[in-house]
Amino acid sequence: MIKIFPLLISILLLTSTLTYAQHVKTSGAKDVAFAKNSVYFELLGNGFLYSINIEQALRKNLYLRLGASYGPVDNHINQRHSNPLVTIPVLINRHLKLNKTIKLEAGLGTTLVLFGDDADIYFTSSIGTKFLDAKTGQFFKVSFTPYSRNMDLLSNMKLYFGLSFGKEF
């Protein structure tokens, strides 16, 4: 059906072996967990209309993000209105912690868009600020998410943004 799925699955399986889920002892008495995960809902953003996302640490401050959305296609946008629209954003994000409650994030990746038997890949990025409740792990994130439909990024770039709500653990 779609030749991109085996490649996507292979990349996800290879990168999943790079994650660090163990605790590392420091010279002090505290445990420092390098593996941080988050689950969140993003309105607009890299999934275009909405997406449900998970992020898992690959290394300290480097995260793999995988998301998905599913929905019907409006007849005015696509004549094949019975086919669902599926988007799968995959990004590598870098986090910079400013203090206990604010993080800056930047990432690059792709969003796979599937509708019926057709597929398209969008090159995307994300630059945003995450406001975190340090006690509960809940957060709100505002992101600027430009994307391009083909490799000529600068001439075809579309400006977009996203709002996210979720939890770190």
CATH number of the CATH domain containing 58: 2.40.160.20
Number of domains within the chain = 1
pLDDT at 32: 38
pLDDT of residue 31: 35
Looking at the whole model, is its pTM more than 0.85? Answer: no
Instruction: Report pLDDT for 161.
Output: 95
* Confidence grade of residue 1 (pLDDT, cut at 50, 70, 90): very low
Domain range for 129 is: 4-168
Predicted confidence (pLDDT) at residue 18 exceeds the cutoff of 60: no
Q: Which residues, 6 or more positions from 120, have their beta carbon under 8 angstroms from its beta carbon? A: 112, 113, 149
The pLDDT mean for the chain works out to 80
pLDDT digits (tens, 9 = 90+) for 66-120: 999 998 766 555 555 567 889 999 999 999 999 989 999 999 999 999 987 788 9
- Is the distance from CB of 74 to CB of 81 less than 8 angstroms? yes
> How far, in Å, CA of 157 to CA of 154, rounded?
5
Instruction: Calculate what percentage of the chain has a pLDDT beyond 90.
Output: 52
Q: What is the pLDDT of residue 34?
A: 43
In this structure, what token pair is assigned to residue 62?
């480097």
